[in-house]
A and B are shown apart, each in its own frame.
Chain A
C-alpha cells in the first residue's frame, strides 16, 4: 500500500477521525478560554495561544486576561505578561513582580493593572517595563467571553496545524509507533518474531507428523 502513496494520495489525505487525532494528542482537550483586547480576541486552548484565531505562541501557564492599550496588547499569564504589537509580534515576555499568580488584568490611566491571587493590585509604568504595588478601588478587569461555534472550529483547525496524514498513520501502524513512540516498535519486533516462530514451529510439526506417518506406513508395509 505504501508503495502507492502518491497514486492513492495517502500523503495528501488528512485524517479527520477525532479518535485518531486524540490518540496522537493533536486534538485539543477541554474548552478554549478567550478575552477581548479591543477589537482583537485572544484565546488559549491547552498550551496554545491564539491571536484572532491564529496560533502564535505556546506557553504552559494559564491565560488570565488580555487588554489593549493603543497599539500594544498585553496578555496576562500566571507569572508573565506577554506584550505584543497589533500584528501579533512579540515585544517581550515580562515577568511580574508578585510572587503570587496573576488572576486578572485591566487598564487604569493607560497603564496595565494586575490582580494577584493574594488580592493585591500592581500597576505598570508608562513604558510597561516595571510593576509596583498599587491601591486601587473599583478597578475594571477583563472578563472571558464565550466563543461562537465558528470561532471554536477556527481554533480547532489552527490547533491541528497541518493535520495528520494517512501515510503517517499507516507507517506508524506498520512500525508499531502508533502504540507508543518508545516501545511500540518492540511490540512489532515481538510480533514479527512470534510470526516467525509460528511459521517454524508449524513447519516442524507438519514435518515431524509427515515423517511419523511415513514411518508408520513403512512399518505397516513390512510387518
Chain B
C-alpha cells in the first residue's frame, strides 16, 4: 500500500484536487509512521506486507483526509477518504487502473461507506454489499476504509513524529 502514486489513465479526480476540496482552507500535510503495533494491525487488514513506512494525511480538528492505494486484482486503486468525527463522510475512487471491477467507483457502491466507523477488532461497523464481478476491487476498498479509520483514530491519539 503506497500513498500518492498517480497515473493519468482512469483518473476520475486528481488526489491533490480531492484534498483541496475537502477543506475550506487546506492544512499542511502531516505524516504518520507505520511502525510497531500499528504496522502489525495494518498488515493484518491488508493480508500482505507491501506497505510504505509512512503515510501522508491532512487534518483540521476532527476532519482528516487520506489518499490510499491498494491493489485490486493486479493494479493499484487510488482512493480518497474523508473522515469527520471518526466517521467516514466520503469515500471516492480517484484512480482506477484495473480492467474489471470499475463499478466500485459509482456512488451507489461508495455511499455504503458513509457514516461507517471502526469496531474494536478493526472491522467496519456495517457490512458492505458486494458488486458482482468486482469482488477484489470491493475487498480493496473495504481494506482501505478500515485502514483510514484506524489511522484516523491513531493520529488523534498521537502527535505526528518519526
Please report A residues at the B interface, Cβ cutoff 8 Å.
60, 79-80, 83, 85, 89-95, 127, 129-130
Known: A91-B52, A92-B56, A95-B15. A127 touches B31 (CB 8 A): yes
State the CA gap A83–B53 with chains docked (Å): 9
- Contacts of B118-135 to chain A: CB distance below 8 A: none
Please determine whether A90 and B52 come into contact, CB atoms closer than 8 angstroms.
Answer: yes
Known: A93-B3, A95-B6. A130 touches B28 (CB 8 A): yes
Extra contacts besides A90-B52, A93-B4 (8): CB < 8 Å: A80-B4, A91-B52, A91-B53, A91-B54, A92-B2, A92-B4, A93-B52, A94-B56
B162 / chain A contacts, CB cutoff of 8 Å: 127
Interface assignment of B55: CB less than 8 Å from any CB of chain A: yes
Interface assignment of B60: CB less than 8 Å from any CB of chain A: no
State the CA gap A79–B15 with chains docked (Å): 13
Number of interface residues of B (CB under 8 A): 18
Lowest 5 A-B CB distances belong to which pairs?
A: A91-B53, A90-B52, A95-B4, A129-B31, A92-B54
Please determine whether A92 and B55 come into contact, CB atoms closer than 8 angstroms.
Answer: yes
Please determine whether A90 and B29 come into contact, CB atoms closer than 8 angstroms.
Answer: no
Q: Which residue of B lies closest to A129 (CB)?
A: B31
Q: Which residue of A lies closest to B50 (CB)?
A: A90
A133 to chain B, nearest CB (A): 15
Can you list 29 contacts pairing A with B, beta carbon distance less than 8 Å? A60-B7, A79-B6, A80-B5, A85-B53, A89-B53, A90-B52, A90-B53, A91-B52, A91-B54, A92-B2, A92-B31, A92-B52, A92-B53, A92-B54, A92-B55, A93-B2, A93-B4, A94-B56, A95-B4, A95-B15, A95-B16, A127-B31, A127-B162, A129-B28, A129-B29, A129-B30, A129-B56, A130-B28, A130-B29
A91 / chain B contacts, CB cutoff of 8 Å: 52-54
State the CA gap A10–B52 with chains docked (Å): 39
A127 / chain B contacts, CB cutoff of 8 Å: 31, 162
